[in-house]
Copies of this chain bind each other. A is one copy, B any other.
Amino acid sequence: MLLREMSRIECDDLLSRLGYGRLACARDKQPYIVPIYFVFEPGCLYGFSTMGQKIEWMRLNSLVCVEADEVRSHHEWSSVVVQGRYEEFTDNPEYSKQRQHAQSLLEQKRLLWWQTAFAAAQTRGRFDRDITIFYCIHIDEISGRRVSSDPVEHR
C-alpha cells in the first residue's frame, strides 16, 4: 500500500468531479459536521442551503473545513481537505451577481440536490422555497492524500 500527497491539480480535479462532501463548522469549541453538495471553481466551493444549524454557526464563525473523498476499496482511495472561509451571498443588491452565478452553477449541475435541501427544511417545519441561502467557501488551504496498491505487493 502506497500513500502519497496529492498535487494541487489532483485535489482540484477530485473536488470538481465529486461535488459531494462534508463540511465542518465550529461554535465555541464544538465542531459540527454535515454532508453538503457543492460546485467547485478554482479558489472556491459554491453551495446552497435552507436555514439550519450549520448556517447559524457559520454566520458566527466563518472558519470551516470541507472534506471530500472517493473510496474504491481499502487499498484505493483519495481524500481532499479544504480549510476555508464562509461567505454568504445575502439577498440584497450587493450580492445579486454572486447569487445569480452560484444559482446558475448549482442548478445546471445538481438539480436533484434541491429536493434534498427542501425535504430537510420541510422535516424541520421550516419549509419556504423563497428562503434559499447561497454561499461560497473561499479556499485558503487544500491538501489531499491518495492510497493505491503497492506494486511490490503484487509481484
- Chain B residue with Cβ nearest A25: B31
In contact, A116 and B65 (Cβ under 8 angstroms): no
The count of identical subunits is: 2
Per the CB 8 Å criterion, the residue count for chain A at the interface is 40
How would residues 88 to 122 of chain A score, 1 for a CB under 8 Å from any chain B CB and 0 otherwise? Answer: 00000000000000000000000011011001101
By a CB distance below 8 angstroms, the chain B residues around A15 are none
Which of chain B's residues have a CB closer than 8 A to the CB of A120? Answer: 3, 145
Q: Which residues of A contact B (CB under 8 A)?
A: 1-5, 20, 22, 24-26, 29-35, 61, 63-67, 69, 71, 74-75, 79, 81, 83, 112-113, 115-116, 119-120, 122-123, 145, 147
